[in-house]
Structure 1
Amino acid sequence: MKVDHNCYANSTGAERHSLDCVQILIPQELFLTLGLISLVENILVILAIIKNRNLHSPMYYFICCLAVSDMLVSVSNVVETVFMLLHDNGLLDLHPGMLRHLDNVIDMMICSSVVSSLSFLCTIAADRYITIFYALRYHSIMTTQRAVTIIAVVWLASITSSILFIVYHTDNAVIVCLVTFFCTTLVFNAVLYLHMFLLAHVHSRRITAFNKSRRQSTSMKGAITLTILLGVFIICWGPFFLHLILILTCPTSSFCNCFFQNFNLFLILIICNSLIDPLIYAYRSQELRKTLQELVLCSWCLGM
């Protein structure tokens, strides 16, 4: 990624030596292994949602898109790592122009991933909010056509913004936009989740019929699942956004320069987010877990 090439840090030699930096070296093989595992996991999640008609609902459509967002990180990581390993071992001679184009494509995929992931987390939070507080009108509010429209708009906005971010990557305004978007989505999700968990118990008392109570329970389970997903996202992507914030606030500080030098560690955390998300889906959804087990068993049988 471009922030990794120079970290936007132009510290002087004196500053660099004024503080002993602890740099964690991460082998390329680890990047490749984690990337392949997360890629396979997210493909299985997408196939499971497509295969099981019981999962054909707006929430699972959004989760499917979240898996696609995670796949973008996995694919970009695998492609970049393979090229770097081939280049380092003298098996591939990368022309500077080709390397630049490859870097642009990878950066665009990662930018699309972060924008779409944050957008779909907000979308799922809004979907759960409607399910809990407007249960009787949910199917008229969140129709399949409306869900598809939202998905199309999110992907169009994500791809467009990622292209603009790559074109103007040298401008600090790009970093400001990313950090602002990150903080705004976190506040949006926090407000919705706080309202859901504070009032869900009171709201559930008004629904006494068995079927509606079951729907309420399912909706709250979905809200808890998305809370876990959001928490994992913050933990895994937080250091990366802190990196961006430090680029704006202290690009020449020796302390910040030490932080910049561990950028590969932040990338590993981002890949871990793509790897952990499918495990959360499977753990929290019995229907999805059952379908994933069938897919894995079927794949294993075909491989025999």
Structure 2
Amino acid sequence: MLSVQSLQALTFHSSFLNSMVDWRLHSLHIVSLHTLGHGYGGPESVFLILGIISLLENILVITAIVKNKNLHSPMYFFVCSLAVADMLVSVSNAWETIIIYLLNNRQLVVEEHFIRQMDNVFDSMICISVVASMCSLLAIAVDRYVTIFYALRYHNIMTVRRAGCIIGGIWTFCTGCGIVFIVYSDTTPVIICLVSMFFAMLLIMASLYSHMFMLARSHVKRIAALPGYNSIHQRASMKGAITLTILLGIFIVCWAPFFLHLILMISCPRNLYCVCFMSHFNMYLILIMCNSVIDPLIYAFRSQEMRKTFKEIICCCCSLRNACTSICDLTGKY
């Protein structure tokens, strides 16, 4: 059976690539799963609460996009992909927290190899989620770029079928990355690869943004004189680009500390300042989960159509609950 000491050595709450850093535990001072909060009520409860909130919010987003035909456009399909990625990271963290709680309280007793398998599953989910988030944000950026600079040909370039193929390719690629990262999780190049992907995504997005916003005004003036120009469509395109800017900004703020942690972990694991920064790892995980909670709020704040659909779904759920309560009351009387 697994002792407390073994559990500490095996299960780190990095929620990502845990097995990769087992051999560095004492030198890196990474917080283990067992020492996460010294009882259920510290960061563990925060992880669980944020996970549940994020799950409900992102289910609401996905349901709204499926339900409202006005949202059946490539951009919102990419938003749906981002919502699935957000939901995945929160569910994996919340589920891992539950497993930790059960292990710490001896309500779940399993063999050592099963602990490792669970670690691999959680690692893979986090890995898939972060790559899917980056790819979905990049897809939204490309979609907004095409909308602004190729407005008259947008519907020919970015069809629903093509968007579906892009999303399928994103999740196939992300699943492959998750498997590869876990298989080679005991090597430092895995972390370097992930960090490189993060900065490559930021570089591409920055290039798109600079070109998009620097030339957008002059481009609007040029196509305004063309037949068939739709000013409402153009304003909607710019609004979508601004929404993407907010999403990207929140993503960078919430994920940057995590990637900085990975960089410090492989570059200066024994440096006093690096160790001090890495000692706050739970805070960085909470920031990641906050990103999953904030994104749906941005959709609701920036999209009137999405906000309207949210209200309809919530009102429908409340009506069903009231109807069920009334039926139960009537049944209880007889």
How high is the TM-score relative to the length of structure 2? Answer: 0.84
**Alignment partner of 1:38 is 2:38:** no
Query: Quick check: 1:69–1:114 contact (8 Å CA) kept in 2?
Result: yes
Aligned counterparts, 1:186-197, within 5 A: 186-197=202-213
CA–CA distance in structure 1, aligned partners of residues 164 and 137 of structure 2: 16
String of CA shifts for 1:125-153, please: whole Å, max 9, x gaps.
Answer: 00000000000111111111111111111
* Ranges of 4+ aligned residues in structure 1 off by more than 6 Å: none
**Alignment partner of 1:232 is 2:250:** yes
Q: Which amino acid aligns with 2:83?
A: A
CA–CA distance in structure 2, aligned partners of residues 8 and 199 of structure 1: 51
Q: CA deviation at 1:2?
A: 4.9
In structure 1, the partner of 2:85 is: 69
CA–CA distance in structure 2, aligned partners of residues 254 and 154 of structure 1: 39
Query: Quick check: 1:11–1:253 contact (8 Å CA) kept in 2?
Result: no
Mark the CA change 1:114 to 1:52 in structure 2 (over 3 Å): closer, same or farther.
same
Q: Which amino acid aligns with 2:52?
A: L
Aligned counterparts, 1:2-81, within 5 A: 2-3=16-17, 6=21, 9=24, 26-81=42-97
Query: Quick check: 2:124–2:178 contact (8 Å CA) kept in 1?
Result: yes
In structure 1, the partner of 2:148 is: 132
Q: CA deviation at 1:88?
A: 2.1
In structure 2, the partner of 1:159 is: 175
How high is the TM-score relative to the length of structure 1? Answer: 0.92
CA–CA distance in structure 1, aligned partners of residues 186 and 284 of structure 2: 21
Structure 1 or 2, whichever has the larger Rg, is 2
Give the root-mean-square deviation of aligned CA atoms: 2.0
Query: Quick check: 2:17–2:182 contact (8 Å CA) kept in 1?
Result: no
String of CA shifts for 1:36-78, please: whole Å, max 9, x gaps.
Answer: 0000000000000000000000000000000000011111012
Identity of aligned residues (%): 54
| Deviates further, 155-164 or 95-104 | 95-104
Q: Partner of 2:230: helix, strand, or coil?
A: helix
Q: Partner of 2:223: helix, strand, or coil?
A: coil
In structure 2, the partner of 1:249 is: 267
Mark the CA change 1:195 to 1:61 in structure 2 (over 3 Å): closer, same or farther.
same
Mark the CA change 1:297 to 1:122 in structure 2 (over 3 Å): closer, same or farther.
same
Q: Partner of 1:207: helix, strand, or coil?
A: helix
Runs of 5+ unmatched residues, structure 1? 17-22
In structure 2, the partner of 1:261 is: 279
In structure 1, the partner of 2:221 is: 205
CA–CA distance in structure 2, aligned partners of residues 77 and 285 of structure 1: 29
In structure 1, the partner of 2:241 is: 223
Of 268, 276, 282, which aligns to 2:300? 282
In structure 2, the partner of 1:20 is: none
Of 105, 108, 130, which aligns to 1:92? 108
Mark the CA change 1:38 to 1:2 in structure 2 (over 3 Å): closer, same or farther.
closer
Q: CA deviation at 1:3?
A: 4.9
Query: Quick check: 2:18–2:123 contact (8 Å CA) kept in 1?
Result: no
CA–CA distance in structure 2, aligned partners of residues 296 and 222 of structure 1: 25
Query: Quick check: 1:7–1:260 contact (8 Å CA) kept in 2?
Result: no
Runs of 5+ unmatched residues, structure 2? 1-14, 30-34, 323-334
CA–CA distance in structure 2, aligned partners of residues 231 and 7 of structure 1: 33
Of 185, 188, 191, which aligns to 1:172? 188
Query: Quick check: 2:36–2:44 contact (8 Å CA) kept in 1?
Result: no
Of 311, 318, 329, which aligns to 1:293? 311
Query: Quick check: 1:237–1:266 contact (8 Å CA) kept in 2?
Result: yes
